[in-house]
Structure 1
Amino acid sequence: MIFGVLAYLGWGMFPAFFPLLLPAGPFEILAHRILWTAVLMMIIISFTSGWKELKSADRGTWLRIILSSLFIAGNWLIYVIAVNSGQVTEAALGYFINPLLSVVLGIVFFKEQLRKLQISAVVIAAAGVLVLTFLGDKPPYLAITLAFTFGIYGALKKQVKMSAASSLCAETLVLLPIAVIYLIGLEASGHSTFFNNGSGHMALLICSGLVTAVPLLMFALAAKAIPLSTVGMLQYLTPTMQMLWALFVVNESVEPMRWFGFVFIWIAVTIYITDSLLKK
């Protein structure tokens, strides 16, 4: 269970890390995350049977890996945009919604049956999103996109029969050529921050690979060792920490009507957790 707690605590501290990468822009940060995560994962799977897994993967598996890599890259990009533009509460909302969206995706992709409490949770969450969309100052585009991209990513990953390390390595290898070409072009145009903002900035961008990979690998270890219902409970650590960071550290303001929408989401989350505990 300790790996699960550490994974979600790590994700919960992302709002503190990514602003440290400024003045790098979102696309430069994304490219460095891909590059250095790929480097780290290639080293890791060199000490396991990971390369054999990649070589033996069939065309269908690689197609799913390509699709999942696109969705996780989109998720990483939107998250950095949200955090580095002062919208941490929006990011937190996305990860409160995500488990409920995953329930819906389970119906669509895997023909899973919903229990009564799950149906109630999804309906109330949908009502909360509608409140935020039509009564707030602006629709929660970032939150919905974060929930959707990570939900689809999870659904695709469920169909990839590979170890966590090998699949993460495969995803970043798919994205690596694009990331490298982008970084070379950025450097050639004189807009790269990697070599122009000191060794500390360079080290932080390199560490973005470690920050990306370690929570994912710890989560994979936890998912194998503890019940899925426990994993389901732990996942709310991340958005809760992000919400607290937004309100009490960076002092983001939330208009009253958005609080009303958040209440719907939190009621839905409570129902979802209750259902999971009852099932257990």
Structure 2
Amino acid sequence: MADEKKGILFTILTYTIWGFLPLYWKQVDHVPSDEILTSRIIWAFVLTVIFIFLIGGGKKLLADVKSLWQSKKTFFSLMFASYLITANWFLYIFAVTNDRIVETSLGYYINPLVSMLLGVFFLKEKLSNATKVAFALAAIGVLILTISYGTFPWMAFGMAFSFAFYGLIKKTIKLDALRGLALETLFVLPLGLIYYAYLFSNGSASFLHEGAATDILLIISGAATALPLVLFATGAPLIPMYMIGFLQYIAPTLMLLLGVLVYGEAFDRTNLISFSFIWVALALFTTSKVMEARSVRREKLNAQH
């Protein structure tokens, strides 16, 4: 129980940090999204590698690099995953810095349902009747939003699908979360360095040109990326999967509240109706997963006795 409480605490802290991150990105919204993303890539790599060596994980990291180099399938899978998560980061940062936090929350609300859909198509997982109803309700909610917006919420779906595919690929790769982050950022690091060289060459870089406060915030963006992953890697293995699924809704809920209450983004009756369909879908989806997990646990206990 002590381990489970610790796991719950670290996992709640993880999703709370992710939920409040828009407050951080808003502090650098005077910096173009592409440069924020580039800084996040570079400093996430630098700070993560430093931390790995400080905790004595340098040899394991080098062993991971060697293993990755010897397996072409893993190499290209992780490379593709790194590009997917980079795209996800860009959409997220762009949305937050362009006053579309509510849409980011929508993306992360529908992400679990998209992940389940990918599981059906790629992992041949079966859907329960409750999950099928949840999909239908979520689809109605998205349809209402699309009609009210006049355009498809492509940014929300871009975030949901990029993160879902990222998760799907990561399921096939056995890597420590922290060392995995270092290797993922390593794949896109050359592009980041080249792009920063370009920004400095034409005098359009904000880093080292917008004051010390901006420089510090851009550097800390690496820590803002790595810290939640470290907490998640510590807490997630200590609690059941269904509990992780339930706790993950903390982040988009906090994003939604920030967007509406702090930054005054629009959330009218139509938004409320459409989000309500999605919330009910998620409640049904989560409840069915909890019941399935408990049923499996009971069967295991009965088998042991």
Coarse TM-score class (shorter-chain normalised):
over 0.9
Is 2:236 the counterpart of 1:229?
no
Q: What does residue 4 of structure 2 align with?
A: none
Q: What is the rounded CA distance, in whole Å, between the counterparts of 2:103 and 2:139 in structure 1?
A: 16
Query: TM-score when scaled to structure 2?
Result: 0.89
Q: 1:136·1:257 contact (CA, 8 Å) conserved in 2?
A: no
Cα deviation for residue 184 of structure 1 reads 1.1
Which residue of 2 is the match for residue 246 of structure 1?
Answer: 259
Kept in 2: contact 1:195–1:202 (CA 8 A): yes
CA shift for structure 1 position 74:
0.4
Alignment of 1:211-226 (within 5 A): 211-226=224-239
SS at match of 2:126: coil
Residue 78 of structure 1: how far off its partner (Å): 0.3
Q: Which residue of 2 aligns with 1:121?
A: 134
Q: CA offset at residue 216 of structure 1?
A: 1.5
Match of 1:193 in 2: 206
Larger Rg: 2
Which residue type is aligned with residue 9 of structure 1?
A: T
Aligned to 2:38: 31
Tell me the alpha carbon deviations over residues 143-198 of structure 1, each in whole angstroms, 9 at most, x when there is no partner. Answer: 11110111111101111111111211111000000001101110111111111111
Task: Provide the rounded CA distance (Å) in 2 between the counterparts of 1:79 and 1:107.
Answer: 26
Q: 2:170 aligns to what?
A: 157
Find the counterpart in structure 1 of residue 67 from structure 2.
56
Structure 2 distance, partners of 1:36, 1:114, is: 41
RMSD: 1.2
Q: Report deviation, 1:223.
A: 1.9
Distance 2:193 2:224 in 1: 19
Equivalent pair of 1:72/1:150 in contact (CA under 8 Å): yes
Is 1:3 aligned to 2:16, yes or no? Answer: no
State the SS of the aligned residue for 2:27.
Answer: helix
Q: Please state whether the residue corresponding to 1:135 is helix, strand or coil.
A: helix
* Partner in structure 2 of residue 43 of structure 1: 50
Q: Aligned AA for 1:96?
A: Y
- Alignment deviations for residues 228-252 of structure 1 (CA, whole Å, 9 cap, x no partner): 1110011000000011111111111
SS at 1:21's partner residue?
A: coil
Letter in 1 for 2:192: A
TM-superposed deviation, 1:138: 3.0
Q: How many residues align?
A: 280
Give the C-alpha shift of residue 131 in structure 1: 1.8
Percent sequence identity is 36
Deviations 1:198-238 (A, max 9, x none): 11110000000000111112112222111111100110000
Counterpart of 1:6, as a letter, is L
Q: Does 1:79 align with 2:80?
A: no
Which amino acid in the other structure matches residue 50 of structure 1?
Answer: L
**What is the identity, as a one-letter code, of the residue corresponding to 2:12?**
V
Superposition map of 1:127-142 within 5 A: 127-142=140-155
In the alignment, structure 2 segments of 5+ residues that lack a partner are: 1-7, 295-305
Could you tell me whether the CA contact under 8 Å between 1:33 and 1:208 is conserved in 2?
Answer: yes
Does the CA contact (< 8 Å) of 1:78 and 1:145 recur in 2?
yes
Whether 1:143 and 2:150 are equivalent positions in the alignment is no
Structure 1 residue aligned with 2:5:
none
Paired letter, 2:156: A
In 1, the alpha carbon distance for the partners of 2:259 and 2:206 equals 26
Letter in 2 for 1:91: T
Residue number in structure 2 paired with 1:271: 284
Matched, 1:69 2:82: yes
**TM-score where L is the length of structure 1:** 0.97
1:139 CA drift (Å) = 2.1
Aligned to 2:299: none
Matches of 1:210 and 1:133 in 2, distance apart?
Answer: 36
Residue 54 of structure 1 contacts residue 166 of structure 1 at CA under 8 Å; is this kept in 2? no
Counterpart residue type for residue 28 of structure 1: E
Cα distance in structure 1, aligned partners of 2:10 and 2:121: 30
1:207 and 1:254 mapped to 2: Cα distance?
A: 31
Contact 1:45-1:166 within 8 A present in 2 as well: yes
SS of equivalent to 1:32? helix
Partner Cα distance (2:237, 2:74) in 1 = 21
Q: Which secondary structure does the structure 1 equivalent of 2:191 belong to?
A: helix
